[in-house]
Amino acid sequence: MSLSYRAAVLHAAQAPMSVETVMLTELKPTDVLVRIRAAGLCHTDLEVIEGSLRYPMPIVLGHEAAGIVEQVGAAARGVKAGDHVVLSWNPHCGHCFYCDRDAPILCEQYLGEGPKAVAFDGESRARLADGRPLQQLMFLGAFGEYCVVSDQQAIVVPKEIPFDRACLIGCGVMTGAGAALNLGAIAHGDTVMVIGCGAVGLAAVQGARRAGAGAIIAVDIDPAKLALAAKMGATLGVDASRDDPAAAGKGATGGRGVDVVIEAAGSAAAFRVSPEALRPGGHLIWLGKVDVSKDVTFRWGSLMQEKRIRRVSYGNARPRRDFPLLARAYLEGKLMLDELISRRIKLDGINEGFAALKRGETIRSVIIFD
Ligand SMILES: NC(=O)c1ccc[n+]([C@@H]2O[C@H](COP(=O)([O-])OP(=O)(O)OC[C@H]3O[C@@H](n4cnc5c(N)ncnc54)[C@H](O)[C@@H]3O)[C@@H](O)[C@H]2O)c1
Ligand SMILES: [Zn+2]
Ligand SMILES: [Zn+2]
């Protein structure tokens, strides 16, 4: 098999992607060939485009996707042709030091192969038209008509959930909702602050509501994002370009500080204010990131008094457990996904889609494949 398909290829940071014909290699025994039907534009892809997150090139980005299984390798388990799947970017080996300690996100094979932008076994499944290797971001590379993943990355979801909404579960929604629901940080009645109300933060707001938070303070620098957060369960909105989130958090808790802060903005200012808003002994969850070679400074006193500070990737996801749960929550009207989609675009519109994300105009642009 040598399948040709169209994909958006990034040849160099800070340059536009080009939509070109590329090829897939033969399926290996545990591989799954997925026809991508929808893929979301996440801030992490933008960081690769801008060069603050460095990966080998040429590369196909895209790690928040849903599609239909077209073909499976002879040894692939748990998935069959025709299944509707949401793709997971956290394959893990199941038997290393970290897998044995219930931390698949730290799996040694996952962390070892991830920066190479290849498939989980260390080899890329994609090629440029001239035969040169093509890297795949986060074991996926979903900004193309097809994608080959390992069987454990193809998570079957109910066919009733439309692909454009299902794809959001694969990164932003899992990350934000998982941070609120999977870490056990939020107790019933807690006051929770979510800083940054993009797709990740809005999912965190909804997760906090589902976890039983008593009050949810949404913080952003864009009033439109705050309005959406209110629709999704925030009880108070703070515009950080005008007002101090820490003061707002203290004001809402009799001066104590909030019980849980979830940071989902990915800016130094947001990181800095996050422990200032937290009460002694509270939980601070960082989801965002800045350029990994940059420093972020903190007032030391803001970190003291038994604060529990954790940087979390993928919301402690267990995709086979969580993706169907989140899909069902959507279908039962308990999780708002429609509102996260600002634009539906074609693959050819991908560069403008990322420009809009950078300008802060969109929550999610979702590429719809025919
Ligand atoms: N931990 C993970 O596994 C994971 C997964 C996906 C994304 N991320 C990261 O999470 C962050 C959010 O991702 P996203 O896709 O929702 O991005 P996004 O750009 O859609 O949303 C970020 C939001 O933060 C707001 N913001 C910016 N500066 C702010 C400030 N100082 N105070 C308050 N709000 C501010 C923006 O207005 C925007 O609404 C990014 O840093 C991204 O890299 C992490
Ligand atoms: Zn492992
Ligand atoms: Zn993402």
**Nearest atom, ligand 1, residue 199 CA:** 16
Measured distance CA(258)–CA(43) in Å, rounded = 27
Measured distance CA(234)–CA(113) in Å, rounded = 39
Q: At what angle do helices 350-358 and 43-50 cross, to 10 degrees?
A: 100
Question: With a 6 A CB cut-off, is 182 part of the ligand 1 pocket?
Answer: no
Nearest ligand to the CA of 100 is 2
Question: With a 6 A CB cut-off, is 185 part of the ligand 1 pocket?
Answer: no
Q: 3-state SS string over the chain? A: CCEEEEEEEECCCCCCCEEEEEEECCCCCCEEEEEEEEEECCHHHHHHHHCCCCCCCCEECCCCEEEEEEEECCCCCCCCCCCEEEECCCCCCCCCHHHHCCCHHHCHHHHHHHHHCCCCCCCCCEEECCCCEEEEHHHCCCCECEEEEEHHHEEECCCCCCHHHHHHHHHHHHHHHHHHHCCCCCCCCCEEEEECCCHHHHHHHHHHHHCCCCEEEEEECCHHHHHHHHHCCCCEEEECCCCCHHHHHHHCCCCCCEEEEEECCCCHHHHHHHHHCEEEEEEEEECCCCCCCCCCCCCHHHHCCCCEEEECCHHHCCHHHHHHHHHHHHHCCCCCCHHHEEEEECHHHHHHHHHHHHCCCCCEEEEECC
Do the beta carbons of residue 202 and residue 196 sit within 8 Å?
no
Closest of 37, 39, 47 to residue 82, by C-alpha: 37
Separation of 141 CA from ligand 1 center, angstroms? 21
Closest of 80, 59, 81 to residue 70, by C-alpha: 81
Separation of 2 CA from ligand 1 center, angstroms? 38
pLDDT by 10-residue block (mean), the chain, 370 residues: 91 98 96 98 96 96 98 97 98 98 98 97 96 97 98 98 98 98 97 98 98 98 97 98 98 98 97 98 97 95 98 98 98 98 98 97 96
Separation of 150 CA from ligand 2 center, angstroms? 14
Mutate to test the pocket of ligand 1, among 220, 226, 296, 341 (most ligand atoms within 8 A of CB): 220
Nearest ligand to the CA of 43 is 1
Question: With a 6 A CB cut-off, is 62 part of the ligand 1 pocket?
Answer: no
Its pTM surpasses 0.85: yes
Question: With a 6 A CB cut-off, is 63 part of the ligand 1 pocket?
Answer: no
Q: Looking at the DSSP assignment, which residues form a beta bridge with residue 84?
A: 68
Separation of 178 CA from ligand 2 center, angstroms? 20
Q: Where in the chain is the domain with CATH 3.40.50.720?
A: 184-311
Tokens for 115? 């920066």
Nearest ligand to the CA of 289 is 1
pLDDT of residue 370: 85
Question: With a 6 A CB cut-off, is 225 part of the ligand 1 pocket?
Answer: yes
Q: What are the C-alpha distances in Å from 337 to residues 159, 240, 272?
A: 16, 25, 30
Q: Where in the chain is the domain with CATH 3.90.180.10?
A: 3-172+316-368
Question: With a 6 A CB cut-off, is 203 part of the ligand 1 pocket?
Answer: no
Residues flanking ion ligand 2, Cβ below 5 Å = 92-93, 96, 99, 107
Mutate to test the pocket of ligand 1, among 221, 318, 358 (most ligand atoms within 8 A of CB): 221
Question: With a 6 A CB cut-off, is 270 part of the ligand 1 pocket?
Answer: yes
pLDDT of residue 105: 98
Looking at 3.40.50.2300, 3.90.180.10, 3.40.50.1370, 3.40.50.970, the CATH number of the domain 3-172+316-368 comes to 3.90.180.10
- Give Cβ neighbours of residue 27 (< 8 Å, ≥ 6 apart): 1, 33, 71, 72, 73, 148
Architecture of the domain whose range is 184-311: 3-Layer(aba) Sandwich (3.40)
Tokens for 326? 């989140």
Closest of 248, 256, 58 to residue 143, by C-alpha: 58
pLDDT of residue 1: 57
Question: With a 6 A CB cut-off, is 197 part of the ligand 1 pocket?
Answer: yes
